Structures are given as structure tokens and as C-alpha cells.
Structure 1
Amino acid sequence: MARAFLIVLDSVGCGGAPDAGAFFNGDLPDTGANTLGHIIAQRGLNVPNMDALGLGAAVRLSTGIETPGLDAVPSGRWGVAREISRGKDTPSGHWELAGLPVPWEWTYFPDAQPAFPDRVTQALCRAAGTDKILCNAHSNGIKVIDDFGEEHLRSGYPICYTSADSVLQIAAHEEVFGLERLLQMCRDVAPMLHEMRVGRVIARPFVGSDRSDFKRTKNRRDYAITPPEPVLTNWVQEAGGRVHGVGKIGDIFSMTGIDTSVKGTDIELMAALDGLTQSAEQGDFIFANLVEFDTDYGHRRDVAGYGAALERFDLWLGQFLPRLGEGDLLILTADHGNDPSWPGTDHTREQVPVLVYGGPAGEIGICGFCDVAASIAAHLGARSNGTGRSFL
């Protein structure tokens, strides 16, 4: 028994979800969405390290399309995972990867104005100490600041919005509104939203003096529902290992089963993960979400930027793999899709690649998200809840 590393490539789907037709971007079903496949088709993708682990093979298995430039014979164990939770969002994907399919239907706010019911709007005003909020509709994090940022600076009203996910987001200026005031506002309203089965309340701080230079900061904070049952992080702790969250993992799981947590920019998180290859001990589990591919590129429908970010990650991965020790296990996978070529701005319902370094080579085939948790638990000698089967 050594260590286990799970890196979630946020939104890096590979198409082919059999139930994609039941999920929508506006009026368009997600049938045919394929994050990796369409990036490869539209701009090509130079990711030799992930391809050597089986990335191209996973895309071909998932959808049957050609993957020019990604034709390596996999040296690792590889496959495609399929989600059963009724969501295409961050908590659903991460919880299920940790062995817990979401046991309820999330609450979503309607694409209307106002989007929030009166009692939610009133709670937001009380928490902010204002008599009004801005937006109160579906939007995305860049556009909403462009649309309402200057009015926010003039009025002091917080910008409150939602999306096709089960989420309520609050954007406010770090200095004018105050970062701690924003975080406290989110903490105050989160219990009500969680009782409604809204998955997350997210603080979205930004800086800048006007629309020309508004910029979101790295001080985002997610206030998520606590998983209702023990998950992989708890199983590892019960087996005597420590769990290290890198990126937004601690927020997603409300620190359930997390011993240490580090946040920061992509570069800072990659450096932290490099450091954990030296400091983590036998039996430890390192759970990481390093790059916000969806926030930075998928939601913005930026095919070129998404592909370039994947290539930068692959360069880092080539330097990271030799740091792993004998007996270490690394699994690369994703939590959902976010096809940057797809109409709309929402996530897309897709299967995801599963790439394994450190285990036996060969094809896994189609597996479940919960099989990822079962495999890590088996590697670390931890019990699981029986929802998945190890593919090692």
C-alpha cells in the first residue's frame, strides 16, 4: 500500500452519455455534446502524456469518432466512466466519484426574472443589510459583472444570480463591498438554500474600477451541502490515512473527511500537488481539482483557450508523473462535460475519461463514477460502501 492521487479535470468530458437527451442547454438537448472530441476536431490537441495513458482511446471508446493526433497505444489502464446522479454539476460529479450518487433531486431556479422566490430574495437582502439585490436571474460570472458591476459600485447592492446548475452565486467587490462581508453573507443564507436542496452558495469576489478592468479574484468560496453519508474521504481516514484536498475539494465536501486543504491559482495548486508527492505518507489520499477548465473556457465557449489549457496541463503532467513513488496510484478523470463548441453556456451531460497511472495496464471499458472510489479504496486498504467495483 502506498498513496493514491485523484485529479479531477473539471468538465473534461468525452461525449457519449446515453441519457444526454434528458439534459439541456436552453431548448437544445445535450445529445452529441463532446468536449474533448470537438476540441480535437476544431483545433487539434497536443497532449502526449495523457494520450499515452489512454486519452485518445477513451474518446474513441466513448463516441466512436476518430482522434487525429491522439493515437498512442495506452501504457496505463484506461476507460470511460458514466454518471448516474441526476445532475451535470460539480457536487454531483465529485460526490459520485467519491462513492455517493446524489440521493435526491437538486432544486433549480427557473430561467425567469426574478429567478429567486421572495423569501430567498428577502433573506439575501437581510444578509447583505440592503433593501435590494441586483440581477436576480440566470447569468454567467463574467457577463453578470460586466452588466451589473458598475451599478453595484454605485449602489452597494450585491449581484445575485443563478444558472442551469443548482446554485446561487453572489458577486461583490472585494474592497468596496468587502470580502469578509461577502463571505458572511454567503454563510448566512447557505442553510436556507441547503434546506431547499440547492447544492451550493458561491461567493464570487471581484476587483476593478469599471467594466473595462473588472476581474474576478482567487478568493472564490463555495458553501456546499455536506454529503449525507460517509464518502471516500471518510473511508480513507477510517483506514488510518490522511486526506489532502487541493483546489475546491474542501469546499465541495464541506471539509468532510479532509485533513488539509490548499487553494490558490492553477500554478499554486500544481506546486502544492508537487509538494505532496514528497510530504504525503503511506496510506494518504490526495484529492485534487487543479484547473477550472469550465469556468475559464467551457462556459465562455472558448475552444482555442480550452485546448491550450489542456496542453499546459499535459506539460505539467509530464513533469509530475516521475515524482510519483513505487506503489503510488494516480487516476485522472472528470466530473461532467462543458463542450466549448456547444450552444448555450451550461455544462454538458457526458461520459468522462478514466486514466490510471501506477496500476496494471489494459482497458477498463465502460465503468461507473463510483468505481473510481472503489478502486482507490481497494488500493489504500479502506472499506467502501459497495456502490462501485474496483477496476484495478
Structure 2
Amino acid sequence: MAKAIILMADSLGIGAAPDADKFGDLGANTFAHLLKAYYDETGSALSLPNLSKLGLIDACEAAGGETCLISDRQTPQGAWGYAKELSSGKDTPSGHWEMAGVPVLFDWGYFPKTQPSFPQEFIDEFIARTGIPGILGNCHASGTTILEQLGEEHVKTGKPICYTSADSVFQIAAHEKSFGLEKLYQVCEIARALLDEMNIGRVIARPFLGSNSQDFARTGNRRDYSVLPPAPTLLDVLAKGGGEVISIGKISDIYAHQGITQKHKAPGLMNLLEKTSEVMKSAPDRSLIFTNLVDFDEKFGHRRNPVGYAKALKEFDDYLPTILNQLNADDILMITADHGCDPTFPGSEHTREYVPVIAYKPGMSNTPLGERNSFADIGQTLAQWFSLPALDYGDSFLNELTTPNKKENN
């Protein structure tokens, strides 16, 4: 048994999920809509030959029922399908945990869209424990917009910028130099402890640099403080069974550092991909290399930039052969997503969508996997792949990857 690699294309949804109406997301389709936006702006279809060859285009059209405006379309040479979510939310931890065999079947705590958004009792205790002079924001907001609005006041007053979104999250933005990065992390740890009883999924440190509202920009030193998954995930089971679980990017934060044996940070899409390639060269057998490609969500989905999203996908596609060529005969590559974030959809929040389920081993042929009833099918497949005990959720499709396929071009 060799290595498994998961590339989590953060927010790459491929069509509205069956329950999208409950979330106000009917009609969302992150991938198909960013392709159309790219075509409308440039007059040419995007070329993604490597993702096409792995089955992403076929998966999107099967899931969303929309034609994908793509050039250089390839016949799939891998396994492809699409999965709906069991978890009650459309947030990052729920998507990641479910993929690893632990769906979130409870409701997170959320902050109302009223302003102020946070309970005064919590804010008073937060200020008392941290010693900060107060907070700014206290609302639902876009992370980039609120820096433009409140960044200069933050630098002058020393008050951190606190805001939330439709997700179960408390975000704290502060200037790395004037406020201090370590101080920001300490403040976030205090907030995390205070918010446990409110069942808030994540506290996120959002450090930034710059001299004024025109050039404030987030840095790569983001840190997520998540609650613990409610049960052992695939990562825990593999690590306990003597395997290596290697986190690249924010994976370790999302799983509250549980089941992680090695972790690597890398800012930006290309650095994350290059770090993945580097780790693949040295990772031992029975390793799970797990990378979150956060830029798709953070820089393009939430910022409603479909053309930028398309160009980033092109960079991903161009780099994929480097990773594919490193796969040994008994390695397996998975590409999936944790939710959607349709950059053409109203608002700036995640969208409830199917996610792609792409699996590839060297020498594979076209293998349709159809609709999967849970993201957990990926975790269950990898549990079987690593000869681990079965997880509580998910149906393995490993047999379909190892049995000669007779459904070519189905």
C-alpha cells in the first residue's frame, strides 16, 4: 500500500444539491457559471484538459444538468461522480469532516444579521479577558470590504475588527505589525474558549498588512480555531493505525489538529501545489497527503470574481501533470470540494451544491461513479484502501476503481 493524495478544491461546487432550496441556493453552479463568465468576458472557452481527462466536466454536467463551456474536452481516464451532503450546513468544517467520515448532523450556532451581531455579554467578557480597548465591526461583512472601512481606525485605536458571515464563524482581523501577530492568535484562542458554549464552529485569525485603506491586504498567516470533530475521522483512524497524515495548508486547523502527524503551511495556490509535490517525493507508504486549495474560495468565490476563479483553475490544471506524473502504480489521487461558492450568485456566501468526486490511479479507464449519497463515500473508500476499520458513514467505491470497467463513455 502506498500513498493517497486529496486535493480539496475549496468551494468548487458543480450544481445545486437536492436540498438547495432550503438554503436559498437553487440555481447555483460554481463551476459551470464561472466557465460561462469566462467565456462571456474573453470570447473563448477555458481549456482545462487535465481536469477534463480526470472527469470533472462529465461530473459537473451529470450533477448540474448544465453544459460546461470548455475547450479541449477529453474522454475521462479516471473515476468521476458527484456527492451530496448529509451535514446540516454548507460550511468548511462540515464539508471536510463529512468527507473524512463524520457528517455534522447537528445545527451550528450562528450570529444574526442584525447589527450588532454579537451578544453584549460575550463582548464584555471577551474584552475583559483579552485587555483590548474594544472591538470594531460587530456585524456580518465581507473580509476585504471591512478592512477598507475599518482598517485605519483599527490601527489608530488598537481595537480588533470582529465580524461574521452566514457560516458559524467569528472572525478577527488585526494588523500584523501595529497589533501583533502573536497577540492576534492569543485573542483568537480566548474567543474560541468563550464561544464553545454557543456552538460556534470556527474562530478565524485574519492578519493583514498595509499602510492605509487603499493597500490593506490579508497575509498568509491566517489561522483557524475549530471545535473538535464530534467523532474520530479517517485522519484519526489512519494516524492511530500507524499511518502518516500530512496536512498542507489549513487542513490541520480545520480538523482542530486531530489525527495530523505532519503539517505544512504554504501561502497561495501555486505554493500549496508545489508543497504537495515536494511532500509526495518523501512521504512514506501508508501516507495520506491532504491539501486544501483555499484560494478558489477565499480570493475568488467570496469576492465574486468568476473570471479570476477560472484563471486560477487554469493554473491548477496546468500544474496537475506534475502531480500525476509522480504517482506510483499503487498511489491514488482524489479531487473534491467541501461546498460551493458560486461567484455569479447573489450575496457572498457559500452555496449548497454537489461536489465532484474524482479518483485516479495510473492506468485507469473511464469509470463513472454516479451520484454519491454522502461526501463520506470518499473517506470510506480511503479507509478500505488503507485496510482500516470501516467508518460509520459512507459507501466505498474502491471496488469500482480496482475492477476493469465496462461502462466506457457511459
Q: Would you say same fold, with TM above 0.5?
A: yes
Deviation of 1:16 (Å):
2.8
**CA separation in 1, counterparts of 2:119 and 2:291?**
35
Deviation of 1:364 (Å):
0.4
Give yes or no for contact 1:92–1:102 (8 Å, CA) kept in 2. Answer: yes
Give yes or no for contact 1:207–1:215 (8 Å, CA) kept in 2. Answer: yes
SS of structure 2 residue aligned to 1:286:
strand
Asked if 1:283 corresponds to 2:277, the answer is no
Aligned with 1:38 (options 33, 49, 68) = 33
Aligned with 2:315 (options 288, 312, 316) = 312
Give yes or no for contact 1:20–1:350 (8 Å, CA) kept in 2. Answer: yes
The aligned runs of 1:202-241 (5 Å cut-off) are 202-241=204-243
Asked if 1:364 corresponds to 2:369, the answer is yes
Equivalence for 1:59: 60
Equivalence for 1:322: 325
Equivalence for 2:406: none
Aligned with 2:273 (options 246, 255, 270) = 270
Equivalence for 2:356: 353
Asked if 1:374 corresponds to 2:377, the answer is no
**CA separation in 1, counterparts of 2:135 and 2:225?**
20
**CA separation in 2, counterparts of 1:239 and 1:37?**
40
Give yes or no for contact 1:10–1:336 (8 Å, CA) kept in 2. Answer: yes
**CA separation in 2, counterparts of 1:227 and 1:321?**
31
Equivalence for 1:26: none
- What letter corresponds to residue 388 of structure 2 in structure 1? A
Equivalence for 2:253: 251
**CA separation in 1, counterparts of 2:230 and 2:135?**
32
**CA separation in 1, counterparts of 2:209 and 2:8?**
28
- What letter corresponds to residue 371 of structure 2 in structure 1? I
SS of structure 1 residue aligned to 2:303:
coil
Deviation of 1:126 (Å):
2.3
The aligned runs of 1:322-341 (5 Å cut-off) are 322-341=325-344
- What letter corresponds to residue 397 of structure 2 in structure 1? F
State how many pairs are aligned: 387
**CA separation in 2, counterparts of 1:238 and 1:256?**
11
- What letter corresponds to residue 10 of structure 1 in structure 2? D
- What letter corresponds to residue 377 of structure 2 in structure 1? D
SS of structure 1 residue aligned to 2:290:
strand
Task: Write out per-residue CA displacement over residues 28-74 of structure 1, whole angstroms, 9 at most, x where no aligned residue.
Answer: x1100000011122213321101100011001110221123264221
**CA separation in 1, counterparts of 2:354 and 2:195?**
29
Equivalence for 2:2: 2
The unaligned stretches of length 5 or more in structure 2 are 39-44, 399-410
Equivalence for 1:93: 95
TM-score (norm 2): 0.92
Task: Write out per-residue CA displacement over residues 98-149 of structure 1, whole angstroms, 9 at most, x where no aligned residue.
Answer: 1000132001100011100012211331244134210100001101110100
**CA separation in 2, counterparts of 1:20 and 1:151?**
39
Give yes or no for contact 1:124–1:133 (8 Å, CA) kept in 2. Answer: no
Equivalence for 2:189: 187
**CA separation in 2, counterparts of 1:56 and 1:328?**
23
Task: Write out per-residue CA displacement over residues 309-339 of structure 1, whole angstroms, 9 at most, x where no aligned residue.
Answer: 0100111112211011110000000000000
**CA separation in 1, counterparts of 2:172 and 2:69?**
42
Percent identity of paired positions between Structure 1 and Structure 2 = 45
**CA separation in 1, counterparts of 2:58 and 2:69?**
11
The aligned runs of 1:137-156 (5 Å cut-off) are 137-156=139-158
Asked if 1:391 corresponds to 2:397, the answer is yes
- What letter corresponds to residue 216 of structure 1 in structure 2? R
Give yes or no for contact 1:194–1:200 (8 Å, CA) kept in 2. Answer: no
**CA separation in 2, counterparts of 1:271 and 1:69?**
26
**CA separation in 2, counterparts of 1:233 and 1:55?**
25
The unaligned stretches of length 5 or more in structure 1 are 24-28
Deviation of 1:290 (Å):
2.5
Instruction: Give the ranges of 4+ consecutive aligned residues of structure 1 lying more than 6 Å apart after TM superposition.
Output: none
Q: Structure 1's 62 and 134: CA in aligned 2 closer, same or farther, altered over 3 A? A: same
Deviation of 1:282 (Å):
1.0
